[in-house]
Amino acid sequence: MCLLHDTFEMRLSCFMFLVVAAALWPSARGNAPTNVSLPDLANSYWSDSGLKMPSKELVDAVNRAKLPLLDAFGHRREIVLMSIGSEFAFQRLFDVFLANLQNISFTGANGIQDNLARHIVVNVMTPGSAEKCAGLAAKYGCYCVSFANDAFTLGNFHVFSNDFYGIGFTKTATILDGLTLGVDVLFLDADQVFFRNPLPYLLAREADILVSGDCHNHGDATPMEKLPPINNNIGFVYFRPTAMATRAIYNWAMWLRNIAQRGEKPWDQTTFAGAIEWVSGEVSVRHLSMAMLHSDLFPYYCMGPCGCDLRGVPYFHNGRLPQRIPGTDCDPDLMREWYNYHMPCAGDMNMKSDLMEEYVRMYLRVIGPINSRSVPMTVLS
Ligand SMILES: *[C@@H]1O[C@H](CO)[C@@H](O)[C@H](O)[C@H]1NC(C)=O
Ligand SMILES: *[C@@H]1O[C@H](CO)[C@@H](O)[C@H](O)[C@H]1NC(C)=O
């Protein structure tokens, strides 16, 4: 009906009607993508002199959240976990994610019991979600930082909506802000659960960038100039805060903005490998190195329900994707090695939450308590 009105007053009253309707009926903004303009959204992350600087709130949160650790080579590292969350993700997804990170406990400095939930910084993407995140912070000890953009939907970020592409601007800015502060960044999508502490594994590898990837037999101990020629998944990605890694992320963010400005779709996932390989190709592996994590240890749902089986698979070949007969569990010999299970390709955020809980139950049933197969790490003060 509103579309039929023509005069300014009528359009104004129509506009007011919609504003009131949206306020009284929150689901009016609910599940629909907002159809935000991608060039405008991209620009909102930039100032005239470059990408916007980290907020004081972010700087404080990173300083409080960072965890000083000894790596496998005897060096001190400071690592922070980072994630991003929107209104819909605070309905359930983050509660499962953080309850699970809290289960990954370890002995902290001075012998005090600590856990991973207390070392994650969450950038909150939607306005009005701050209190929900603050409630989780009170419960789990995580850190919430406002990174709100009015353009984002309060609903599910449907794949290939403009909101969905906009996640990439938030993700690159979040990673860059962490690296700029000189800490190691483990960026995690919130749609995953952990069974073992991944930090000792990451801190025993030398590459500047470690990312999860499709089911394929490759090494992850040697720092490489390129990733294996298969899909990576940046829902689990780790960076050392080197000058060149930081530069690579900055250039990646700029590339995404340029794509948006051309009127094309800027997808962080499909540009990531090109962005970092372009830099390592220019400056050599000495200045920027990378590796793809073993896919059988860091599985995700796009592979299938039981991850990746590399037993007997020749080097540099694709692995097998075991199926799961309804009512049965995955092979214990595969599950025993899992660090996490990540749930891309699994429907909306509430469906992902169900799956995350289901995989926790399966792990408890088949292997044992969450974190029972973690190895200790040395926390410094
Ligand atoms: C989204 O916005 C674009 C440009 O503003 C417009 O052409 C398109 O029709 C809109 N789509 C929807 C579904 O509203
Ligand atoms: C956390 O650990 C407890 C105790 O083993 C278990 O009951 C619970 O399901 C776990 N939850 C998650 C989300 O990992």
- Tens-place pLDDT, residues 49-95: 999 999 999 999 999 999 999 999 999 999 999 999 999 999 999 99
pLDDT at 21: 32
pLDDT of 175 > 90? The answer is yes
21: in domain: no
Instruction: Read off the pLDDT of residues 318-334 as tens digits, 9 standing for 90 and up.
Output: 999 999 999 999 999 99
70: in domain: yes
pLDDT of 162 > 60? The answer is yes
- Whether the CB of 99 sits within 6 Å of ligand 2: yes
The mean pLDDT of 33-38, rounded to a whole number, is 80
CA of 159 to the centre of ligand 2 (A): 30
Query: What CA–CA distance (Å, rounded) separates 304 from 296?
Result: 12
90: in domain: yes
Two structure tokens written together for 65 = 């959240």
pLDDT at 251: 97
pLDDT at 31: 64
- Among 238, 89, 257, 270, which Cα is nearest to 173's? 257
27: in domain: no
322-358 burial code (b ≥16 CB/10 A, e <16)? beeeeeeebeeebbebbbbbbbbebeebeebbebbee
Query: What CA–CA distance (Å, rounded) separates 325 from 41?
Result: 44
CATH number for position 341: 3.90.550.10
CA of 354 to the centre of ligand 2 (A): 14
Query: What CA–CA distance (Å, rounded) separates 217 from 258?
Result: 35
322: in domain: yes
The mean pLDDT of 168-193, rounded to a whole number, is 97
Q: Ligand 1: which of 2, 31, 35, 153 to mutate, judged by most atoms within 8 Å of the beta carbon?
A: 35
Domain holding 235, by residue range, is 35-366
Query: Pairing relation of β-strands 120-124 and 76-85?
Result: parallel
Query: What CA–CA distance (Å, rounded) separates 174 from 178?
Result: 6
Question: Please, which residues bridge with residue 192 across strands?
Answer: 342
148: in domain: yes
- 60 vs 23, residue with greater confidence: 60
Please state the φ and ψ torsions of residue 65, each to the nearest 5 degrees.
-80, -25
Q: What total number of domains does the chain contain?
A: 1
Q: Above pLDDT 70, what percent of the chain?
A: 92
The mean pLDDT of 148-159, rounded to a whole number, is 82
